[in-house]
Amino acid sequence: MQDIGDSFWYAIAVCAKREQCVAITLGQIGIEQFLPTYIVIKRYSDRLKRLAQPLFPGYVFAKVLANDRLHVLQVPHVLSIVGTRRGPTPIDDIEIEAVRKSVSFAPDCQPWPFLQEGQRVRIIDGPLAGVEGTLVECKGRSRLVVGIGLLQRFLSVEVDRECVQPLAGNSHLLHTSERQPRQI
């Protein structure tokens, strides 16, 4: 059971293309927020442009006290706090930290489809040391997939296979031929 004085990370469902607006508003009212993004290169008729896109479209993460959840729901463009019939479901701090580290230290982050198979691994060396995720093979390269299980939204970063250590109880890898990443 949650203590009223404890703050937890929640996934906040927001209107389409309003993630940045909601993140800014949450920050302005004093609520810690996190909007992970990745860079997309868009081609226009006369130029290429680099744009930051949300890694988890339709969601912003907020660290909220139980009695402050109503303030979050009153922010324009917020649809709901993700949860079950019992109420909002907190996200594990470890999952948020894994996404935060991946976005900060790996410039090649990109969205990744929900996976049910694959080997769980831990990075043992480099700036992502300690981050756990699923190891996959894509186009002959190893990638670590991390994300928010509650939302079934993930991101992947390229990793050096020598820097990963399998976690106990896993015995297989997910290969490209088994599951292709969707193109964005």
* pLDDT tens track for 65-83: 988 899 999 999 999 999 9
Return the closest-CA partner of residue 173 out of 141, 148, 149. Answer: 141
What's the total number of domains in the chain? 2
Which region among 66-75, 104-113, 125-134 has the lowest average model confidence (pLDDT)? Answer: 104-113
Domain that holds residue 19: 7-91
CB atoms within 10 A of CB 182: 7
Q: What is the pLDDT of residues 86-99, one digit of tens each?
A: 999 999 999 999 99
Q: CATH number of the domain that 51 lies in?
A: 3.30.70.940
Residue 1 predicted with pLDDT over 70? no
Residue 180: per-residue pLDDT: 39
More confident position, 104 or 172? 104
pTM comes to 0.71
Judgement on whether residues 20 and 86 belong to the same structural domain of the protein: yes
In a domain, 181, yes or no: no
Residue 178 lies in a domain: no
Separation of alpha carbons 52 and 14, rounded Å: 17
Does 36 have pLDDT greater than 90? yes
